[in-house]
Amino acid sequence: MSTDNTAVFVIAEQMVGGIQPISLQLLGKARLLADELGTTVGAVLLGQNLTNDVHKLIAAGADLVLQADSESLVPYQSELYTEIIVKLMVEHRPEILLIGSTFIGRELAPLIAARLETGLTAHCIELVIGGEGALEQRIPAYGGMITIVCPEKRPQMATVANGVFPTPVLNPARLGEVISIQVPKNLPQRVQTLEIIREKLEGISLETASVVVAGGAGAGDQEGWDQIEELAGILNAGFGSTRPAVDAGWTELETMIGQSGRMVNPDVYIGVGLSGELQHMVGILGAKIMIAINKDAKASVFEKVDYGVVEDCRVFVPALVERLKNKESTTGKVTHVI
């Protein structure tokens, strides 16, 4: 396999029972970028019991998988992972390195970038090969889109959130090379993950939901927020938030949809009691139908949706929920066509 400065690499991430969806999405994108550059795709996977996962990475587009399989790699340890990956990057010298914007990725990416003394762009929603083969990294900011490049240093590094790029069609017949990497032993560990504790699991994943309801400051208080949550429940929708709702303490930061939060791509989006701030709206990558409910006729959200209702959500949502409950009882079942 070529070891010159031409490959596009992805740091793939193992999760319980498989590969993080973002890793497959990034491999799909890496494949497209590599094809345009006339080069190859590499993936790095650290973890344990990797055989099936490795094949999935190849099926998603990797030509080369560098795998390190060891119990010392589970759970994630930042210093060990950084050491291994930096060494691989120095050896393989890729043009581009993509990392998913997961909890691990957000800590690992800057550690790698600082060691490699290269540039890193966070939360990209578009990656394009520009003039002279440089990677144009686009991020939403200040109500618009900013294009960032890393003109000299290599690899050009970017993190991308789950759901930004489509999941590629897996081709199990694809072939690729797999190289096993030695895991350094007795590396001094000054920071050590002792244990991973799972709390509540999200009901409907926002990134894959076909209907998304998002609530904002207009909820007014926890009671108003719970009403919107009830609406999301009845619609079998993913339930997300904007920053004011998180700041008010009605919901966790993890539910926030937006520039530095989750990305959604539903068929139907309903924004309830939110103003349509650009930081939030850029988190909606695309939706067939967008609806907004807000008591302020001047709210900018009404310029960005297909249907608008000017009404206090604390009045409208209970009425809507009531009506939907009646519909449910008269038709017998809530059907949901994706």
Partner 1 sequence: MIDFTFSEEQNLFRKAAREFAETEIAPHVAMMEETGRDWDPVIKALCNAEMMAITIPEAYGGLGLGYVARLIALEEIARVSVATAMMMQVGGLGIEAIVKYGTEEQKKKYLPKLANGGSFSTEAVTEPSGGSDPKGCGTSYKKVNGSYVINGRKCFITNSHIADVLVVMAISEDTPDTFSTFIVEKDMDGFKATHEEKKVGMRGCNTGELELKDCMVPAENLVGKEGKGLSVAMATISDVGRGGMVGCALGLHQACLDASKKFANERILYGKPISNLQAIQFKIADMKIELEAGRLLGYRAAAIQDKGERSGNEFAVAKYFTTEAAQRAAKHAVDIHGGYGCMEEYDVTRYLRDAYVLGPSAGTSDIMKVIVARWVLS
Partner 2 sequence: MVNIVVCVKAVPDPSFSDKLKIDPVTKSLPRLDIPLVINPLDSRALEAALQIKNKYGAHITILSMGPPPAGNIVRECLALGADKGILLTDPAFAGADAFATAYTLAKAIEKNGAVDVVFCGMASSDGATEWVGPEIATFLNMPVITMVREIVDDQGDEWIVKADYEHGYRMVKLKLPAVITVTRDLNHPKPLSFSGIIKARSKEISEWDHEKLEIPVERVGLKGSPTKVTEMTRLENRRNVKMIEGSLQEKVERLVQILSNAGVV
Enumerate residues 293-332 that contact partner 2 by CB under 8 A. 300, 302-311, 315-316, 319-320, 323-324, 327
Q: What is the DSSP letter of 76?
A: -
Q: What are the residues binding partner 1 (CB under 8 A)?
A: 296-298
Q: Does 107 bind partner 2 (CB under 8 A)?
A: yes
Q: What is the DSSP letter of 140?
A: E
Q: Which of 219, 221, 251, 220 is nearest to 238 (CA)?
A: 251
- Which lies closer to partner 1 via its Cβ, residue 177 or residue 296? 296
- Which lies closer to partner 2 via its Cβ, residue 180 or residue 193? 193
- Which lies closer to partner 2 via its Cβ, residue 59 or residue 212? 212
How do beta strands 8-15 and 18-19 pair? antiparallel
Considering only residues 235, 263, 272, 274, which one is a binding residue for partner 2 as defined by CB under 8 A?
A: 235
78 binds, among partner 1, partner 2, none (CB under 5 to 8 A by kind): partner 2
Q: Which residues pair with 66 in a beta bridge?
A: 44, 179
Secondary structure (3-state) at 151: coil
Identify which range of 42-50, 167-175, 191-199, 217-225 contacts partner 2 by CB under 8 A.
191-199
Q: Which two tokens stand for residue 83?
A: 């050491």
Encode 153-177: b = buried (16+ Cβ within 10 Å), e = exposed.
ebbbbbbbbbbbbeebebeeeeebe
Q: Which of 296, 259, 258, 246 is nearest to 275 (CA)?
A: 296
Q: How far is the CB of 328 from partner 1 (least distance, A)?
A: 35
CA distance 88 to 197: 30
Q: Does 79 bind partner 2 (CB under 8 A)?
A: yes
Sequence-separated (6 or more) residues with CB below 8 Å from residue 254:
202, 262
Contacts with partner 2, 140-179, as mask; x by CB under 8 A: xxxxxxxxxxxxxx--------------------------
- Which lies closer to partner 1 via its Cβ, residue 254 or residue 296? 296
Q: Does 335 bind partner 2 (CB under 8 A)?
A: yes
For 238-297, strand residue ranges (E) read: 238-241, 268-272, 289-294
Q: Does 55 bind partner 2 (CB under 8 A)?
A: no
Q: Does 110 bind partner 2 (CB under 8 A)?
A: yes
330: left (phi over 0), alpha (psi -120 to 50) or beta: alpha
Q: How far is the CB of 196 from partner 2 (least distance, A)?
A: 5
Considering only residues 23, 25, 39, 102, which one is a binding residue for partner 2 as defined by CB under 8 A?
A: 102
Q: How far is the CB of 296 from partner 1 (least distance, A)?
A: 6
296 binds, among partner 2, partner 1, none (CB under 5 to 8 A by kind): partner 1
Identify which range of 44-52, 132-140, 167-175, 221-229 contacts partner 2 by CB under 8 A.
132-140
Q: Does 1 bind partner 2 (CB under 8 A)?
A: no
Q: Does 90 bind partner 2 (CB under 8 A)?
A: no
CA distance 331 to 326: 9
Contact predicate 95/8, CB 8 Å: yes
